[in-house]
Amino acid sequence: MQVITATQLNELLQNSEQQPFLLDVREANEFEYCHIENSIHMPMHSIPANLSQLPQDAHIISICHHGMRSLQVAQFLLQNGFSNITNLSGGVHAWAQSVDPTMPTY
């Protein structure tokens, strides 16, 4: 599994022709409060039941608040046949600090 910083993710989103699949695994109230643009919301607890909704061939970047839940999801995806999985180190909190200072934090 790969790890990416918020700054690296921002560069990837700015410069990549093929955009990664941004998978936000936080709870609904967290996602509603703040999220990275174009993220797809799928709470951590719902991932096992919804594996078929995730693109097998896409570069999936797993996102949560600080990077721990997303790390668990990334490991789960790797164990279930996904191969191009990256965890956002520091989560949306790091994104707010490093990339988008207008993003609300909690």
Catalytic residue numbers, as ranges? 64
Distance, in Å, from the CA atom of 59 to the CA atom of 86, rounded to the nearest integer, reads 8
Distance, in Å, from the CA atom of 73 to the CA atom of 36, rounded to the nearest integer, reads 18
CA 23 and chain centroid, separation: 4
